[in-house]
Structure 1
Amino acid sequence: MKNFKTLFALAAILLFSFSNAQKVGVIDTQYILDKMPEYKEAEARLNSQIDTWEKDLQRLQSEYEQKRSAFENERVLLIGDQLKLREKEVLDLEKNIKTTSSLRFGKTGEINQLRANLVEPFEDQIWTAVKTMSEKNGLGIVLDKTDNNIIFLQKRNDYTDKVLDILLKGTGDKKEKKTNKK
C-alpha cells in the first residue's frame, strides 16, 4: 500500500509538471533589426555622429600633443608667469580632452543616450511583435539567440521570421496608407 501511495504521488507530480510545461521559442533580434530599413538608417546616423565625435577628439588630441611638445621644448626658456601660463594651457587642454571623452563616450555619455533614443523605438516594436507572436503560438518563454547563449535549436522553435512578418506587415500597412492618400 505504501508503494502504491508513492507511485501515485510520483505519477501525480509528473502529470502536473507536464501540464504546466512551458513552450519555448527563440528569435534572433539582430537578424530582425538587419531586415528593418529604418533601423539601418538610424544606425547610419549614429555611426556618422560617432565618426564626427571621434574626429573632434583626435583633433583635440593632436592639438594637445603639439602644445605639450612645444611646452617641453621651450620649458627651459620660460620663466615665472610665462611658464605657469603655458603649463596651465597644456593641463587645461588635457582636462578638456578627458571631459569631452567622458561626456561623449562614457557610461552615461551622449553616445549611450543617442543610441538609446535611436534603438529604443525598434526594441519596443520588436517587443510588441514578440508578445503578439508568443500569444498566437502559446509560448511561455522566448529566448534571443543573438546573445549566443543557445547551444542547440530546432528550426521549428525559431520564431524570428514570424516576428519579422508581424513587424513588416505593420510597415507595409503604413506604406499602403501613405500611397492611398496620394
Structure 2
Amino acid sequence: MKNLKVFLIFLIFLTANSVTFAQKIGVVDTNYILSKMPQYTEAQARLEEQIKAWETELQTLQAEYDAKKAAFENEKVLLVGEQLKQREAEVKNLDKKIKKFIAEKFSGEGEINKFRANLAKPFQDQIWNAIKTVTEKNSLGIVLDKSSNMSVIFLDKRYDYTDKVLDQLLKGPSKEDTKSKDAKAKNKK
C-alpha cells in the first residue's frame, strides 16, 4: 500500500513536471525550522508544562476515584438504604468528573488541541512568508515540505532550501526584498 502511494505521488509529480515545463523544485523541512526558532521552543515548553499540570490533576482525580471506589466496595455490604445510594452516587459523580476532564482537556476538540493550534498559527504564518520570499528569489515553481507525510527517498542538497528559509526567518526581510515589493506594488498601480 505504501509503495502504491509513493508510486502515485511520483506519477503525479512526474505529470505535473511535464505539464509545468520543468519548474524548479525546492524542499524545506518545517519541523527543523520550528526547532531552530527560540520563540517556538519557548511556547512549546509552556504547552508541555500545561500538559504536565493537567496530567497531574488527572492523576489526583484518578487516585481519589480509586480510593473512593475501593472504600465503597469494601463497605458496600455494611451500607443500607440512603447511605448506599449516596456513596454509590459519589463514586459515579467522580467517574463522570474524570471523563469530563479528559474530554475537556485531551479530546480532539479539547484545550490541548486549541493550545497547539494557537501556538502554531503565528509560526506557520512566519514560515509561509519566508518560504514565499525564498521561492520568489529562487524562481521555484514547487516547494515540498519533507517533514510532512511525504516520503523523500533522496534529496540533493541543492534542492533543500530549509537553511535559506531559516535564514530569511531569523534575519527578517532584507532591504532588497522591501525594495522589490515596493516596486511590484508601484507597478500594480
- Equivalent residue runs for 1:13-24 within 5 Å: 17=18, 20-24=21-25
- Unpaired segments of 5 or more residues in structure 2? 1-17, 175-189
Quote the offset at 1:151 in angstroms.
1.1
Q: Distance in 2 between matches of 1:47 and 1:136?
A: 37
- CA distance, structure 1, for counterparts of residue 70 and residue 123 of structure 2: 47
Equivalent runs, 1:104-123 vs 2, <5 Å: 104-123=105-124
* Cα distance between partner residues in 2 of 1:150 and 1:163: 19
Unaligned runs of 5+ in 1: 1-16, 173-182
Amino acid at match of 1:28: D
In the alignment, what sits opposite 1:160? 162
State the Cα distance separating 1:171 from its structure 2 match: 9.2
Tell me the TM-score normalised to structure 2 length: 0.79
In the alignment, which residue of structure 2 is the partner of 1:81? 82
Which has the greater radius of gyration? 1
User: Quick one: distance in 2 between partners of 1:72 and 1:111?
Assistant: 35
TM-score (norm 1): 0.82
Structure 2 counterpart of 1:103: 104
- Alpha-carbon distance in structure 2 between the residues aligned to 1:171 and 1:161: 15
Aligned to 1:37: 38
Structure 1 residues 171, 34: closer, same or farther in 2, change over 3 A? farther
The Cα of 1:20 is off from its aligned counterpart by 2.2
Hey, what's the Cα distance between the residues in 2 that align with 1:54 and 1:89?
22
1: CA distance between counterparts of 2:148 and 2:69?
44
Change (3 A) 1:83 1:18: closer
Question: Residue 140 of structure 2 aligns to a residue in which SS?
Answer: coil
Which amino acid in 2 is paired with 1:66? A
Structure 2 CA distance for partners of 1:44 and 1:26, relative to 1, 3 Å? same
Runs of 4+ in 1 over 6 A off after TM superposition: none
Match of 2:109, SS state, is coil
